Structure 1
């Protein structure tokens, strides 16, 4: 560099002190930002580790539940055991009509009644 390229700027003492304070406050702000970023990274890693362990435990619980379901006997659902389950809001509720069950004595009565009607129709004919 030659002497022609060099520029000299003269600062007053007050301006020098002010610019140094500004520079130092900028450095402090940058250091605080770096500290906040490191804290974020630390907590983010901690969060991810916690999520991974939670996911593993959830998978274990799911597999344990499947094992339990396999060990218990299967129960056949009949209309007698089915209850109306609440449906989520916005979905139409579908109600199943339960078949009327007749008592065994009703079957005997109906068969006897049918026999009597057959006999009556054969007598009247």
Structure 2
């Protein structure tokens, strides 16, 4: 009888921990998306190419996390301590696809030397992040 009671208790604990961990990962992803969107707001208002590149790096770092491909340790990581990167932490396949597109655009955007073209990329990144933040 004690064995069954212990087994039931462990099962409930395992389920509860699993549920909490899944909820926490999604919460971390949402916090990272929100932080990236804040930097996308800064990005579309940037007054120079250097500032655009800086905010693109910040967004890229939020997307991939400290151990992700394309992470720039020289650039600020506004999502430090919020998770392992929004792409990694996001549970929704649809949102993850949006975030991967943001990552791709940021990777291209930081190499663009034309302010007008960089701003076009910035607008696309902002739009995708707004959609992902819903």
Q: Normalising by the residue count of structure 2, what TM-score does the alignment of the two structures yield?
A: 0.32
Structure with greater contact order relative to length (CA < 8 Å, sep ≥ 6):
2
**Bigger Rg, structure 1 or 2:** 1
The structure with the greater share of residues assigned to helix is 2
Q: Normalising by the residue count of structure 1, what TM-score does the alignment of the two structures yield?
A: 0.34
